[in-house]
């Protein structure tokens, strides 16, 4: 399924950005879901979609390094998260 490979690529890039912004717990969770995606697509897509709901969700992340916001990386992260959510909902 084409969307699944695209979802996986997006998740890989999101993980890179999260690590750069020192959001290691989020990066580990996305890595975990990325590896689970190949084994159990339906369940993993549901887990990914849940990340977007409520307070303290993945949408609330702001990346910083040395106390400075990473503007370019935050903009890319927002775009990738939006794309990831849309792909998971329509997969």
36-82, pLDDT tens digit by residue?
999 999 999 999 999 998 889 999 999 999 999 999 999 999 999 99
Domain count, the chain: 1
42: which 2 tokens? 């339906």
Q: How many CB atoms lie within 10 A of CB 11?
A: 20
* DSSP bridge pairs for 4: none
Eight-class DSSP state of 54: S
User: What pLDDT does residue 35 have?
Assistant: 97
Average of per-residue pLDDT across 22-26 = 96
Q: Would you say residue 1 has pLDDT above 70?
A: no
What range does the domain containing 75 cover?
Answer: 2-90
Q: Would you say residue 4 has pLDDT above 90?
A: yes
């Amino acid at each position: 399924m084409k969307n699944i490979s695209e979802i996986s690529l997006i998740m890989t890039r999101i993980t890179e950005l999260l690590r750069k912004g020192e959001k290691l717990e989020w990066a580990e969770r996305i890595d975990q879901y990325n590896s689970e995606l190949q084994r159990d697509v339906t369940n993993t897509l549901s887990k990914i979609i849940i990340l977007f709901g409520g307070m303290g969700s993945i949408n609330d992340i702001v990346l910083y390094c040395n106390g400075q916001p990473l503007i370019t990386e935050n903009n890319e992260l927002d775009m990738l998260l939006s794309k990831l959510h849309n792909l998971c909902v329509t997969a």
